[in-house]
Amino acid sequence: MANYTAISATANIKPAAGKLKGIFVSAASATPTIIVYDSAATTTTKTVLAVFTPAAATSYVFPLDGLYCGSGIYVVISGTVTATVVFE
């Protein structure tokens, strides 16, 4: 069963192993970017999803049961982004 967390700033989504299933971006402006790291804390050493510029009202869904993160899911946002992160 998938879980979700709504964010508008950098957040540690899951501090344990899990799968990133998707990201729905409801709003994005002011040079928005998102980066996802495989991390249980606020470290940025293992990149899962490299920096990208999200578009508002867009779903980014990861097929084949999502992206596995062995340590955790840490999402870094810059600019103005409101998003919902779906994970297991």
Per-residue model confidence (pLDDT) at position 44: 87
- Judge whether residue 15 has pLDDT over 90: yes
Domains in the chain with CATH codes: 3-87 (2.60.120)
Mean pLDDT for the chain overall: 96
pLDDT of amino acid 47? 97
pLDDT band at 1 (very low <50, low <70, confident <90, very high): confident
Span 37-74, pLDDT tens digits: 999 998 888 999 999 999 999 999 999 899 999 999 99
**What would the 3-class secondary structure string for the chain be?**
CCEEEEECCCEEEECCCEEEEEEEEEEEEEEEEEEEEECCCCCCCCEEEEEECCCCCEEEECCCCCEEECCCEEEEEEEEEEEEEEEC
